[in-house]
């Protein structure tokens, strides 16, 4: 029966119209480009990137940090569905789990992209690696793999039960759901500690970092989910209720507001009595010694987040399903900049010995990053298409054999 499930799932996913094949074709081209620049990076070394001895974490780590938040954001569907029994959310819970799976896969790929020697990855795998428990990145790999494992089990167990028509064993299934909810918080907390436990980097070295990470995660994740839900409503027969989308929009509104409050609070605390420890933030906001590469990123990000927050606070705009995806994309872009380039890079400027250098991602980094995102959306499209087919009843056990018999 399991082989039948896989076979029917694959057969359904491979079928599609011109729009579907065009979308997958564009993603495939970007993936090919990614493989080419990854080959260049691993044959010529990280010299082909813009990273240096002074700034050794750049676009790759920025996306890694951001995507952990997107993965954790899936809990904003799971929690209302299973804890508060929200009917509209319960129907689409599995779609959020598919997003979490895709996001974690992208995170893992950015780990590979960031490493100059991918063959040494096993050193971060607990308990085999020599740095598995002594390095915070080792702990991050551990919790991310655990979260991926939980979402694979919960998501595909639910789909398999729908496929066979047999209910899941709730005595085992529900504890796994509750563990995944708590685990979602752990992955972004550990990722925050990955930065915050660096005392030589004043830009990151504060205890508020995990709270900021979780707030932005619960804004960016649901924003992307809303966009995906509206695309699904427009292009498939699967109808996602307005109540689910409106609840997610409310979550984005208040979590985005909390994130903005924490960001502004940090600015006041750091710059009110400015010391050398505030130089990283000062460089990000105004530049340092005439170097201003990240200043437009910061103010652009803040503008995007503020504008989207004001629009989210306006009920007539927030409940408009035509405007909502634009607002979500604006918030998503603002958080991507603030959580990525606007957080990772200024942590290295200036260096602990006072050097001030700038970082510019190269074409190799941009194409590799774009290719990883394309691969993630490629996987997400496959997962969502198959899941929707099962939820609609187009994929079910015995259906193909029955159709052939007729």
Half-sphere exposure at residue 127, Cβ-oriented, CA atoms within 13 angstroms: 0
From the list 223, 268, 259, the residue with the least C-alpha distance to 342 is 259
How many residues does this entry show for the chain?
Answer: 406
In a domain, 253, yes or no: yes
Q: Is the residue at 400 inside a domain?
A: yes
Q: Is residue 91 part of a domain?
A: yes
Measured CA to CA, the distance from residue 339 to residue 58 in angstroms comes to 12
pLDDT at position 399 is 61
Given a contact cutoff of 8 angstroms between Cβ atoms, the answer to whether 159 and 390 are in contact is yes
Of the candidates 37, 196, 205, the residue with the CA atom closest to the CA atom of residue 112:
37
Token pair for 326: 């634009």
Cα angle 379, 108, 31; round to 5: 45
- Is residue 98 exposed (0-12), middle (13-18) or buried (19+ Cβ within 10 Å)? buried
12 within domain boundaries: no
Nearest-angstrom CA–CA distance, 394 and 347: 50
Residues of the chain with pLDDT under 70: 126, 130-132, 398-406
Chain segment 116-174, per-residue pLDDT in tens: 777 777 777 767 776 667 777 778 888 888 999 999 999 999 999 999 888 888 899 99
Whether residue 276 lies inside any domain: the answer is yes
- Print the domain residue range for 348: 2-6+21-405
pLDDT for the residue numbered 302: 92
15 part of a folded domain: no
Quick one: pLDDT at residue 206?
83
d(CA 381, CA 102): 9
For the chain, the domain total comes to 1
CATH number, domain of 181, equals 1.20.1630.10
pTM of the prediction? 0.91
């Amino acid at each position: 029966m399991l082989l039948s499930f896989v076979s029917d799932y694959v057969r359904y996913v491979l079928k599609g119209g011109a729009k579907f094949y065009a979308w997958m074709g564009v993603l495939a081209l970007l993936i090919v480009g990614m493989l080419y620049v990854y080959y260049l990076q691993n044959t010529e070394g990280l010299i082909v990137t813009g990273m240096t001895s002074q700034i050794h974490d750049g676009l790759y780590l920025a996306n890694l940090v951001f995507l952990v938040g997107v993965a954790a954001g899936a809990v904003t569907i799971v929690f209302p569905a299973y804890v508060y029994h929200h009917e509209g959310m319960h129907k689409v819970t599995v779609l959020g789990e598919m997003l979490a799976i895709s996001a974690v896969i992208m995170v893992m790929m950015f780990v590979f992209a960031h490493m100059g020697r991918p063959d040494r990855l096993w050193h971060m795998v607990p308990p085999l690696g020599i740095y598995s428990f002594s390095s915070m990145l080792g702990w991050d790999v551990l919790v991310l793999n655990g979260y991926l494992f939980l979402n694979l089990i919960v998501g595909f167990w639910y789909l398999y039960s729908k496929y066979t028509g047999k209910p899941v064993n709730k005595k085992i299934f529900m504890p796994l759901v509750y563990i995944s909810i708590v685990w979602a918080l752990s992955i972004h907390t550990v990722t925050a500690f990955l930065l915050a436990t660096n005392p030589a980097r004043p830009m990151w070295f504060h205890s508020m970092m995990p709270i900021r990470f979780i707030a932005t995660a619960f804004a960016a994740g649901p924003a992307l989910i809303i966009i995906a839900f509206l695309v699904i409503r427009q292009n498939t027969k699967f109808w996602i209720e307005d109540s689910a989308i409106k609840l997610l929009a409310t979550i984005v509104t208040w979590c985005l507001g909390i994130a903005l409050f924490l960001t502004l609070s940090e600015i006041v605390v750091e710059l009110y009595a400015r010391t050398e420890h505030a130089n990283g933030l000062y460089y990000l906001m105004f530049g340092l010694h005439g170097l201003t590469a990240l200043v437009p990123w910061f103010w652009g990000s803040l503008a995007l987040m503020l504008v989207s927050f004001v629009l989210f606070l306006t009920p007539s705009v927030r409940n408009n399903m035509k405007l909502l995806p634009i607002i979500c994309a604006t918030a998503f872009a603002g958080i991507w900049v603030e959580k990525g380039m606007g957080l990772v890079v200024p942590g290295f400027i200036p260096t602990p010995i006072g050097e001030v250098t700038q970082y510019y991602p190269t074409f190799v980094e941009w194409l590799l990053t774009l290719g990883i995102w394309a691969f993630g959306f490629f996987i997400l499209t496959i997962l969502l298409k198959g899941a929707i087919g099962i939820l609609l009843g187009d994929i079910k056990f015995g259906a193909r054999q029955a159709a052939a018999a007729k």
